[in-house]
């Protein structure tokens, strides 16, 4: 349940509501908006609560029951779309669609620096690159680790682009947190609840991908783990799901984009590279995602995809990426956004 306070409710009135909730044995999540404060009641059985208990208190406008199992992630919790500022210029979830681009893996200093400059030139506002890679085989390249993080940080220094990189284990949060602007949680960890809980205790944005065969509800419950830990800077990403179809690496679920926009206030990102596995399909699916309402895109770009150490088949060359950025512009404008 959420308790919506009246506009301009006094701090003492808010405090009295919080005290009442806590007396009843529930946890509180306070959201102080520009106009009004919302008190979220968190507890597995909050449906047992009587709404009148709170509606009689001074300063309370109304209470709203949130029927979905995800509460803080729900659209009902916060009617307004959440905006997540990243770096000096990017706001994820704002009017402008944010494009995060870069190689699947950081392979060398030269490779990431060259890519960073190229994607910046093309209009991307966040640099991606994996330093800790979740590979299906233990014999495949596992990422450069901290060395890769250092190369990413140098690329940020040179270009001013904030960086996003994947964290696979709670043991690495501290190290990766020293470098990254956004923690990426990959598809394989959508339901790694100990990792998600630990990220809930950090104060950096978290980019959460949908599980390999994950449902939308499982994606949002993953987000709820981070939010309930106190970190409200979470974005969710559609990256394709495994279906019976084998012609593509995954099946990009375009439905997920408008559906998520309705179910959650969190920014929604589309990853057409992992969603398709084929570079020829990345542009068309990216355009469809923008038309469907995505707040951001994540696109793999490599200076020489045929030599990439991972995911070359789905990576765009910097040139193709530049062309795609130009083609996305009118589509973003047609849906009232910029890019
Ligand atoms: C990636 O972004 O390179 C990645 C490993 O993605 P996913 O978790 O979606 O497979
Ligand atoms: Mn990849």
Least confident of 48-62, 230-244, 299-313: 48-62
**Whether the Cβ atoms of residue 252 and residue 275 lie closer than 8 Å to each other:** yes
Q: How far away, in angstroms, is 275 Cα from ligand 1 center?
A: 10
Q: What does the alpha-carbon distance between residue 266 and residue 58 come to, in Å, rounded to a whole number?
A: 30
Is the CB of 237 inside a 6 Å radius of any atom of ligand 1? Answer: no
Is the CB of 210 inside a 6 Å radius of any atom of ligand 1? Answer: no
Ligand nearest to the Cα of 134, by number: 1
The CB-based long-range contact list for 239-243 (8 Å cut-off, 24+ gap) reads 239/187, 239/209, 239/210, 239/271, 239/274, 239/275, 239/298, 240/271, 240/274, 240/275, 240/276, 240/277, 241/210, 241/211, 241/212, 241/213, 241/214, 242/212, 242/213
Tokens at 74, concatenated: 């729900």
Is the CB of 130 inside a 6 Å radius of any atom of ligand 1? Answer: yes
Is the CB of 302 inside a 6 Å radius of any atom of ligand 1? Answer: no
**Whether the Cβ atoms of residue 200 and residue 229 lie closer than 8 Å to each other:** yes
> By C-alpha distance, which of 300, 308, 309 is closest to 141?
309
Q: What does the alpha-carbon distance between residue 45 and residue 176 come to, in Å, rounded to a whole number?
A: 36
Q: What is the pLDDT of residues 167-188, one digit of tens each?
A: 999 999 999 999 999 999 999 9
Residue nearest to atom 3 of ligand 1 (CA): 104
Residue to substitute in 212, 236, 271, 302 for testing ligand 1 pocket (most ligand atoms within 8 angstroms of CB): 271
Residues around ion ligand 2, judged by CB within 5 A, are: 104, 311
Q: What is the pLDDT of residues 97-125, one digit of tens each?
A: 999 999 999 999 999 999 999 999 999 99
Identify the H or E element spanning 114. Answer: helix 109-122
Neighbours of 254 (CB within 10 A): 18
Q: Which domains, ranges and CATH numbers included, belong to the chain?
A: 2-64 (3.30.70.1140), 84-334 (3.20.20.70)
Confidence of residue 31 (pLDDT cuts 50, 70, 90): confident
Tokens at 147, concatenated: 């060395």
pLDDT, residue 221, reads 98
Q: How far away, in angstroms, is 184 Cα from ligand 2 center?
A: 12
N residues, the chain: 339
Ligand nearest to the Cα of 277, by number: 2
Q: What is the pLDDT of residues 121-166, one digit of tens each?
A: 999 999 999 999 999 999 999 999 999 999 999 999 999 999 999 9
């Amino acid at each position: 349940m959420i308790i919506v306070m009246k506009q301009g409710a006094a701090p003492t009135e808010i405090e009295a509501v919080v005290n009442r909730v806590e007396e009843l044995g529930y946890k509180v999540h306070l959201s102080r908006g520009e106009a009004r404060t919302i008190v979220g009641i968190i507890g597995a059985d909050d449906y047992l609560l009587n709404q009148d208990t709170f509606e009689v208190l001074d300063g309370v406008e109304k209470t709203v029951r949130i029927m979905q199992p995800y509460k803080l992630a729900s659209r009902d919790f916060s009617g307004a779309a959440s905006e997540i500022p990243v770096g000096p210029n990017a706001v994820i979830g704002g009017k402008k669609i944010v494009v995060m681009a870069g190689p699947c893996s950081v392979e060398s200093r030269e490779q990431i620096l060259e890519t960073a400059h190229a994607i910046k030139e093309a209009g991307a506002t966040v640099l991606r690159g994996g330093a800790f890679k979740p590979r299906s085989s233990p014999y495949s390249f596992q990422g450069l680790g901290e060395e890769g993080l250092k190369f990413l940080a140098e690329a940020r220094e040179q270009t001013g682009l904030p960086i996003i990189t994947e964290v696979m284990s709670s043991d690495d949060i501290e190290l990766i947190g020293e470098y990254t602007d956004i923690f990426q949680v990959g598809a394989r960890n959508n339901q790694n609840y100990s990792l998600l809980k630990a990220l809930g205790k950090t104060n950096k944005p978290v980019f959460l991908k949908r599980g390999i065969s994950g449902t939308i509800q499982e994606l949002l419950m993953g987000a709820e783990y981070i939010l309930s830990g106190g970190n409200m800077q979470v974005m969710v990403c559609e990256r394709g799901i495994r279906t019976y179809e084998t012609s593509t690496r995954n099946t990009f679920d375009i439905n997920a984009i408008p559906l998520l926009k309705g179910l959650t206030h969190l920014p929604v990102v589309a990853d057409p590279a992992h969603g398709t596995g084929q570079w020829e399909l990345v542009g068309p699916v990216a355009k469809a995602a923008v038309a469907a309402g995505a707040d951001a895109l994540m696109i793999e770009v490599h200076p020489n995809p045929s030599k990439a150490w991972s995911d070359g088949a789905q990576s765009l060359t910097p040139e193709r990426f530049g062309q795609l950025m130009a083609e996305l512009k009118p589509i973003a404008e047609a849906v009232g956004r910029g890019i």
